[in-house]
């Protein structure tokens, strides 16, 4: 079992005017203590004295890291970025079907919704709360379905562990979040069943490698029966870079995951 790593927050924002910088509580990024004493320049994290000695020293090449007293840097920092490494947000904004997509001519497909698999959460919790009529070619249907997940170690360890697992080479989904476009039978079709018609992917590994969240990005939808055939695009947002960067550092500590 590893120690609790809660939000590391430092925020000192200076307005465009001459107003004084506003600050919120400084918290160690390895525990819930606010008694911040140090900053590791290489890791870009804040530390209390206890975690500096007991945890940070276990990181690879930690003996070569530059550690500064918080007093030495606090006075000269006009703007500090708040990094919340304990929250992940996924948004499904809209969907478009491409001209010529076979699904457009399939009269049995009338209503569409989108689901995805993530963090080991039950599938019915990750579906858009409603289905929408199948659009015409190149016309979008809007879901605007957004969920924020807490992945802190203290109370959401399984979710954080799931994210860590997505970074490993043996992850069964290849480090990707899989989105599925589903056809829902009409209300008067008592014998009809839901049918997967398209799939789309976002790689969390690529988010970490590229150091960029996926923001309002159109990802290709492929035919569920032929992943080489593109049938449309799904506009999504996946914000998890801060969490992934923190988890990548935590994975260097023996016994963390």
Is the confidence at residue 77, as pLDDT, over 50?
no
Q: Of 3-12, 49-58, 228-237, which one has max mean pLDDT?
A: 228-237
Asked which of 1-15, 45-59, 172-186, 187-201 is least confident by mean pLDDT, the reply is: 1-15
Given this model, what pLDDT does residue 75 score?
43
Task: Give the residue among 211, 208, 206, 184 at the shortest CA–CA distance from 196.
Answer: 184
What pTM was computed for the model? 0.67
Given this model, what pLDDT does residue 40 score?
82
Answer CATH for 87-254 from 1.20.1630.10, 3.30.2130.30, 2.40.100.10, 2.60.40.150: 2.60.40.150
Measured CA to CA in angstroms, residue 23 lies from 15, 74, 77 at distances of 12, 11, 11
Q: What is the pLDDT of residues 126-161, one digit of tens each?
A: 999 989 999 999 999 999 999 999 998 889 999 999
Given this model, what pLDDT does residue 76 score?
40
Given this model, what pLDDT does residue 12 score?
30
Of residues 242 and 253, more confidence is placed in 242
* List of residues 6+ apart from 83 with CB closer than 8 A: 8, 9, 242, 246
Given this model, what pLDDT does residue 63 score?
78
Given this model, what pLDDT does residue 66 score?
80
Task: Give the residue among 206, 231, 218, 226 at the shortest CA–CA distance from 112.
Answer: 231
């Amino acid at each position: 079992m590893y120690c609790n790593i809660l939000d590391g927050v430092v925020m000192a924002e200076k307005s465009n005017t001459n107003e004084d910088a506003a600050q919120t509580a400084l918290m160690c990024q390895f525990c819930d203590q606010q008694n911040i004493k140090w900053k590791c320049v290489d890791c870009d994290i804040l530390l209390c004295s206890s975690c500096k000695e007991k945890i940070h020293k276990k990181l690879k090449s930690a003996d070569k890291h530059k550690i500064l007293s918080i007093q030495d840097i606090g006075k000269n920092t006009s703007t500090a970025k708040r990094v919340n490494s304990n929250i992940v947000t996924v948004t499904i904004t809209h969907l478009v079907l491409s001209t010529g997509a076979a699904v457009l001519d399939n009269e049995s497909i009338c209503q569409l919704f989108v689901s995805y698999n993530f963090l080991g959460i039950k599938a019915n919790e990750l579906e858009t709360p409603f289905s929408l009529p199948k659009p015409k070619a190149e016309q979008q249907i809007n879901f605007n379905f957004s969920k924020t997940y807490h992945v802190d170690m203290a109370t959401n360890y399984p979710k954080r562990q799931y994210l860590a697992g997505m970074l490993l080479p043996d992850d069964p989904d290849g480090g990707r979040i899989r989105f599925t476009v589903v056809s829902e039978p009409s209300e008067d079709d008592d014998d009809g069943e839901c049918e997967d018609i398209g799939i789309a992917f976002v790689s969390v590994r690529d988010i970490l490698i590229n150091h960029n969240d996926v923001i309002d990005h159109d990802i290709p939808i492929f035919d569920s029966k032929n992943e080489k055939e593109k049938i449309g695009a799904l506009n999504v947002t996946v914000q998890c870079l801060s969490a992934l960067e923190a988890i990548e550092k935590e994975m260097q500590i023996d016994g963390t995951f």
